[in-house]
C-alpha cells in the first residue's frame, strides 16, 4: 500500500506503473511538448485513435481569432456511432459487454453486448427516421438513466441528428425552454422513473409542457415503470411498438468532423441556459484519448462513471469515451444510499468494476455514512479512481484514496467543463506523484494561463482566473443560435484566451489548484446552477419584488443556495411564504436548485447605478465578516446591518 510521502504527495505503486501508458513525467513532458510545439503532427497522430471514412482535411486546425471560430480536421469524415459500436463489432467484440445497466432496485440488471447494442441502435435510428428526423435535425431526450437513453443518443449520432439531452430531474419549464431553444421536432421520454425506491412521473410533466405551443411533433415514450399515462393519438408513440416495426439495418451517415454533434444546455450568468454545441470530430477525439489516458483504460476493463447522461460527464465518460475505446461501461439508474449506504460498493463488487469515477459530493456522503459500508464489500477489483465536478478537499481525497482505493489506486482529479468537452487539467495517474486536492497538469494541447482581472499573469501562489491559450479539439464551437454570446462569454473577457469562469492558482511546482467559479454560477452537489435562473424563478412569484441568490458553503453538497428576497407592497414575511418560494424554484427550475434558505429583506445592497452587490450578500449569507469590505459604493450602507440581523 502506497502511503503519503514526506512532502504530502502520493506516488503510484510499482504495480500501478505496470498498467499505465505514461509512466514517467519525462514521457508526459515529451508528449505535451509535442502537442504544443508541433500540434499538427501531434493531433494527426492522435486522430488514428478514431476510424475515419476520409482523412480529407486540408488543415488540422484553423482559427479565426476575430470571429472566435475555429475548426479541427474540417473535411475529414467520420461517424461517432460507428466509432462507438460498429468498429468494435467488426473488430471481434460482438459478444463483449458494452453496457451494463444496473437498475434502481438491486437485482435488476441488463447487459448489452456490442452486437446487441448496435442492433438496438440501428432499429431506433430507423424509428427516428420514420418520424421524419434527418441529418442536422434536433432531437430532445428527456429520459432517466436507462439503456434507452444511450440507445437514443447513439441512434441520433448514427443518422447525424443533433441530440439535446435534458436532465430528467429538470422541471416542465426547464424542459420547455430547452426544447424550444433547440427547436426539437421529436422528443424521446418515458412513462416514469425510479429513484431510491420511489417512482417519479415523467410523461405527466411532458404532457403539461405540450399543453403549450412547442416545436415538438412526435413523442416516443419508453414504458419503464408501467404506470398509466395519457398518450395523445398521432403525437405519442410507444417505444416498444415502434421498435417492433422498425427495419433492422441503418447505415451510418458520413459526418464532417465539423458537423454539429450535440447540444447540451448549461447554466451561465444570465437567466437563459446556454446551448453548448460540440462538433463530431474534435469532441470524439477529445473523449477517446482522455478516457484512455486519464484512467489508463486497458481492454477488457469495466468502467463505472456515476454521472447522469443529462450532464456532460455522462455524455463523455458514461458513453462516448468508454464506448469509443471498446470498454464495458456501467450505467446506474439509482442513488448511492438506496437500499442502503453500501449500494455503490455492492455494484463495484458484483460487476468487478476496474475504474470508478464519481463526484466529491458523493464521496463526502459516503465518507459520512462510515467506512464499514465500503469494508462490507470486496472492492479489490478497483484499479483507478476518478473525481470530477468540484474541487476535492484533501481530507476527502485521502479518505477516497485510503478507504475506497485501499492505498492502491491513484485518483484522477479531472478538471473540465461542459464547454471543454473532455478533461483539460488532471493528474495522469501513473506519471507522477499526486497532490491531494490539486488537478495538477494540463492535458495534451492545453496551455493554461492564470490571469489577474487586469489581464496580467498572476504570480505563483496567488489566485487568478483560469484561461486557456488557443482552442483544443473538443472545445465547444458556439452557443446554439447565439455566437455573439459565445464570444462575449468565453473569448472576449481575456482577448486571445478561452476564459473558463473558474478561479485557480499555480503552486511553485507549476501544479494547478482550482478554487471554484468566479461568476454567478453556483455548484450544488457538483451541478451547475445559474444564480440568475433561480432569481428569475423567485421574481416570477407574485409576492416578490427583487431577488438575489448566492452560494453558501455546505458540508455535503459543496455549495448550497441562499436567496435574499424583497417583497412587493401588501406582502409580509412568513414561514408559509418562504416555503412557497422554495416550492416555486423547485417547480420552475427543478429540485436540484432548491434553495436551502430564503431570507426576506427590506432592501438589498445596491450601487448608485442600481446593481445589487452580490459579493457582500455572499459574505452575509455565509456569516463571514462583511465589514472588511468597502461599502462606500453603496447607496445605503445601513442595509447591511439589517441583512445581518435578519440572517437565517
Q: Which residues bind ligand PRX (CB under 6 A)?
A: 266, 311-313, 388-391, 413-418, 439, 500-502, 514, 516-517, 523, 528
Shortest approach of ligand PRX to residue 71 CB, angstroms?
A: 23
Q: Of 514 and 534, which CB lies nearer to ligand PRX in the complex structure?
A: 514
**Residue 552 bridge partners (DSSP):** 560
Question: Residues of 624-643 as b/e, b for ≥16 C-beta within 10 angstroms?
Answer: eebeebeeeebeeeebbeeb
Could you tell me which of 326, 301, 293, 327 has the C-alpha nearest to residue 91?
326
Look at the block and give the residue holding cell 412526435: 218
Shortest approach of ligand PRX to residue 140 CB, angstroms?
A: 19
Contact between 618 and 560 (Cβ < 8 Å): no
Q: Of 260 and 389, which CB lies nearer to ligand PRX in the complex structure?
A: 389
For the chain, what percentages of helix, strand and coil (3-state, to nearest 5) are there? 35, 25, 40
Q: Of 516 and 646, which CB lies nearer to ligand PRX in the complex structure?
A: 516
Shortest approach of ligand PRX to residue 307 CB, angstroms?
A: 8
Q: Of 46 and 418, which CB lies nearer to ligand PRX in the complex structure?
A: 418
**C-alpha–C-alpha distance, residues 620 and 643, integer Å:** 7
Shortest approach of ligand PRX to residue 523 CB, angstroms?
A: 6
CB atoms within 10 A of CB 447: 15
Q: Of 373 and 397, which CB lies nearer to ligand PRX in the complex structure?
A: 397
Region at 291 (left for phi over 0; alpha for psi -120 to 50; beta for the rest)? alpha
Question: Residues of 407-423 as b/e, b for ≥16 C-beta within 10 angstroms?
Answer: ebbbbbbbbbbbbbbbb
**C-alpha–C-alpha distance, residues 344 and 335, integer Å:** 8
Q: Of 385 and 565, which CB lies nearer to ligand PRX in the complex structure?
A: 385
289, with CB counted inside 10 A (0-12, 13-18, 19+), is buried
Q: Of 502 and 535, which CB lies nearer to ligand PRX in the complex structure?
A: 502
Q: Which residue is nearest to ligand PRX (CB)?
A: 418
Half-sphere exposure of 493 (CA within 13 A, CB side): 18
- Radius of gyration for the alpha carbons in the chain, expressed in angstroms and rounded: 24
Alpha helices in 451-574 (DSSP H): 483-486, 531-539
Q: How far apart, in Å, are the Cα atoms of 473 and each of 33, 61, 77, 517, 554?
A: 17, 8, 15, 24, 35
Shortest approach of ligand PRX to residue 342 CB, angstroms?
A: 26
Shortest approach of ligand PRX to residue 333 CB, angstroms?
A: 20
Q: Of 304 and 373, which CB lies nearer to ligand PRX in the complex structure?
A: 304
**C-alpha–C-alpha distance, residues 107 and 290, integer Å:** 32
Which three cell numbers mark 595?
434553495
Q: Of 386 and 595, which CB lies nearer to ligand PRX in the complex structure?
A: 386
Shortest approach of ligand PRX to residue 408 CB, angstroms?
A: 21
Could you tell me which of 280, 277, 289 has the C-alpha nearest to residue 77?
280
Shortest approach of ligand PRX to residue 196 CB, angstroms?
A: 22
Half-sphere exposure of 495 (CA within 13 A, CB side): 4
Could you tell me which of 414, 338, 343 has the C-alpha nearest to residue 379?
343
Shortest approach of ligand PRX to residue 436 CB, angstroms?
A: 12
Which three cell numbers mark 580?
412557497
Shortest approach of ligand PRX to residue 490 CB, angstroms?
A: 12
Shortest approach of ligand PRX to residue 445 CB, angstroms?
A: 17
Q: Of 224 and 435, which CB lies nearer to ligand PRX in the complex structure?
A: 435
Q: Of 428 and 581, which CB lies nearer to ligand PRX in the complex structure?
A: 428
**C-alpha–C-alpha distance, residues 3 and 394, integer Å:** 14
Greatest CA span in the chain, whole angstroms? 73
Q: Of 71 and 266, which CB lies nearer to ligand PRX in the complex structure?
A: 266
Shortest approach of ligand PRX to residue 591 CB, angstroms?
A: 17
Amino acid at each position: 500500500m502506497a502511503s503519503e510521502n514526506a512532502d504530502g504527495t502520493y506516488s503510484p505503486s510499482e504495480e500501478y506503473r505496470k498498467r499505465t501508458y505514461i509512466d514517467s513525467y519525462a514521457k508526459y513532458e515529451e508528449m505535451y511538448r509535442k502537442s504544443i510545439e508541433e500540434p499538427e503532427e501531434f493531433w494527426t497522430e492522435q486522430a488514428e485513435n478514431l476510424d475515419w471514412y476520409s482523412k480529407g482535411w486540408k488543415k488540422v486546425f484553423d482559427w479565426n481569432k476575430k470571429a472566435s471560430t475555429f475548426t479541427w480536421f474540417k473535411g475529414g469524415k467520420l461517424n461517432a456511432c460507428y466509432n462507438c459500436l460498429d468498429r468494435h463489432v467488426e473488430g471481434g467484440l460482438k459478444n463483449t459487454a458494452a453496457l451494463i445497466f444496473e437498475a434502481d432496485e438491486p437485482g435488476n440488471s441488463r447487459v448489452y453486448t456490442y452486437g446487441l447494442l448496435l442492433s438496438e441502435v440501428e432499429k431506433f435510428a430507423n424509428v427516428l427516421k420514420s418520424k421524419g428526423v434527418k441529418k442536422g435535425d434536433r432531437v430532445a431526450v428527456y429520459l432517466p438513466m436507462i439503456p434507452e437513453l444511450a440507445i437514443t443518443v447513439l441512434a441520433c449520432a448514427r443518422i447525424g441528428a443533433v441530440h439535446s439531452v435534458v436532465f430528467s430531474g429538470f422541471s416542465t419549464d426547464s424542459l420547455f425552454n430547452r426544447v424550444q431553444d433547440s427547436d426539437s421536432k421529436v422528443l424521446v421520454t418515458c412513462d416514469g422513473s425510479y429513484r431510491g425506491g420511489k417512482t417519479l412521473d415523467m410523461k405527466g410533466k411532458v404532457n403539461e409542457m405540450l399543453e403549450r405551443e412547442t416545436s415538438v411533433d412526435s413523442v416516443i415514450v419508453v414504458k419503464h415503470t408501467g404506470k398509466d399515462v395519457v398518450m395523445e393519438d398521432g403525437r405519442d408513440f410507444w417505444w416498444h411498438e415502434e421498435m417492433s416495426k422498425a427495419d433492422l439495418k441503418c447505415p451510418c451517415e458520413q459526418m464532417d468532423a465539423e458537423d454539429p454533434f450535440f447540444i447540451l444546455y448549461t447554466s451561465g450568468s444570465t437567466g437563459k441556459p446556454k446551448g453548448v454545441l460540440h462538433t463530431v470530430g474534435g469532441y470524439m477525439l477529445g473523449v477517446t484519448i482522455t478516457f484512455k489516458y486519464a484512467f489508463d483504460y486497458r481492454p477488457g476493463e469495466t468502467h463505472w462513471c456515476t454521472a447522469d447522461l443529462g450532464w456532460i460527464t455522462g455524455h463523455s465518460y458514461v458513453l462516448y469515451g468508454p464506448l469509443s475505446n471498446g470498454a464495458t461501461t456501467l450505467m446506474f439508474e439509482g442513488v448511492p444510499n438506496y437500499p442502503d449506504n453500501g449500494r455503490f460498493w455492492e455494484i463495484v463488487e458484483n460487476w468487478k468494476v476496474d475504474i470508478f469515477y464519481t463526484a466529491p459530493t458523493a464521496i463526502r456522503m459516503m465518507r459520512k455514512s462510515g467506512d464499514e459500508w465500503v469494508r462490507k464489500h470486496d472492492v479489490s477489483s478497483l484499479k483507478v479512481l476518478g473525481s470530477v465536478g468540484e474541487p476535492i478537499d484533501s481530507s476527502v481525497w485521502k479518505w477516497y484514496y485510503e478507504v475506497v482505493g485501499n492505498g492502491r489506486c491513484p485518483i484522477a482529479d479531472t478538471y473540465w467543463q461542459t464547454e471543454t468537452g473532455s478533461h483539460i487539467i488532471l493528474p495522469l495517474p501513473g506519471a507522477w506523484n499526486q497532490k491531494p486536492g490539486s488537478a495538477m497538469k494540463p492535458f495534451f494541447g492545453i496551455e493554461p494561463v492564470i490571469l489577474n482581472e487586469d489581464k496580467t499573469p498572476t504570480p505563483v501562489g496567488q489566485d487568478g482566473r483560469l484561461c486557456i491559450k488557443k482552442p483544443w479539439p473538443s472545445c465547444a464551437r458556439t452557443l446554439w443560435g447565439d455566437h455573439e454570446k459565445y464570444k462575449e462569454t468565453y473569448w472576449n473577457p481575456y482577448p486571445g484566451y478561452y476564459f473558463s469562469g473558474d478561479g485557480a492558482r499555480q503552486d511553485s511546482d507549476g501544479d494547478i489548484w482550482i478554487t471554484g467559479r468566479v461568476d454567478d454560477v453556483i455548484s450544488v452537489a457538483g451541478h451547475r446552477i445559474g444564480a440568475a435562473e433561480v432569481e428569475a424563478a423567485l421574481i416570477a412569484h407574485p409576492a416578490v419584488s427583487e431577488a438575489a441568490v448566492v452560494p453558501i458553503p455546505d458540508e455535503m453538497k459543496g455549495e448550497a443556495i441562499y436567496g435574499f428576497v424583497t417583497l412587493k407592497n401588501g406582502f409580509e414575511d412568513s414561514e408559509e411564504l418562504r416555503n412557497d418560494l422554495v416550492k416555486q424554484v423547485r417547480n420552475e427550475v427543478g429540485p436540484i436548485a432548491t434553495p436551502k434558505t430564503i431570507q426576506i429583506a427590506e432592501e438589498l445592497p445596491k450601487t448608485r447605478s442600481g446593481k445589487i452587490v452580490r459579493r457582500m450578500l455572499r459574505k452575509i449569507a455565509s456569516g463571514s465578516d462583511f465589514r472588511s469590505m468597502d461599502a462606500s459604493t453603496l447607496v445605503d450602507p445601513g442595509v447591511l446591518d439589517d441583512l445581518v440581523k435578519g440572517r437565517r
